[in-house]
Chains A and B, each alone.
Chain A
Amino acid sequence: GAGVSQSPSNKVTEKGKDVELRCDPISGHTALYWYRQSLGQGLEFLIYFQGNSAPDKSGLPSDRFSAERTGGSVSTLTIQRTQQEDSAVYLCASSVNRVSEQFFGPGTRLTVL
């Protein structure tokens, strides 16, 4: 079946602009995660959604970052007033439930000029 998909694959924006990144999880997966991968670094947890429960936003680096998940499926990660340090690959993952294998999407490479 189809895996996790993300769009756009690449995004170049100017400092100060807002961006929206989209994630389509695997159908039926109740858990959805966002991670950030900076150049040469490991993956940094950003936010977690599980069904209709309140999301775990503990990894969001600042209040410029927000995310939502509509209808328990598609998720969008929004970064307002982008800064150059926001440049990274943003990865989305989904899993059947909170303790099962996480399947990753291909990522969105964000470049802030």
Chain B
Amino acid sequence: GENVEQHPSTLSVQEGDSAVIKCTYSDSASNYFPWYKQELGKRPQLIIDIRSNVGEKKDQRIAVTLNKTAKHFSLHITETQPEDSAVYFCAASDDYKLSFGAGTTVTVRA
């Protein structure tokens, strides 16, 4: 089955700086890569996703890049704000079954 590894497990950044989270996957058949944000005590919510036919996707301050050859994808958050503090999960899928990374706890320092 698919195995997704996520790094780092914790990330502390100064407000206004950028944050980068990296994930690798094992199954070359995976073609869908969503990122979820989970605030403390809340449900996971999709913030951005990418499919294997594109290499990069951007939505305001958030971007995701995908390297299918190396089997890794990354989340980039620019101009971080206090409300970006949360746990972020990457996932990979070749159909309906999402395999999740262990999560990255992001803390934005004011």
Residues of B near A40 (CB, < 8 A) are 102-103
**Known A31-B96, A99-B32, A101-B34; contact A41-B43, beta-carbon cutoff 8 A:** no
**Known A41-B102, A42-B103; contact A99-B96, beta-carbon cutoff 8 A:** yes
User: How far is A104 from B89 in the complex, measured between Cα atoms in Å?
Assistant: 13
Give a binary string over A83-113; 1 marks a CB under 8 Å from any B CB, 0 the rest. 0000000010001001101111111000000
| Residues B45 and A56 in contact, CB atoms below 8 Å apart | no
A-binding residues in B (CB < 8 A): 4, 6, 32, 34, 36, 42-46, 49, 89, 91, 95-103
Known A-B contacts: A43-B89, A56-B97, A102-B98. Give 17 more (CB < 8 A). Answer: A33-B96, A41-B103, A42-B101, A42-B102, A42-B103, A43-B100, A44-B100, A59-B97, A91-B43, A91-B44, A99-B32, A99-B95, A101-B46, A101-B49, A103-B46, A104-B44, A105-B43
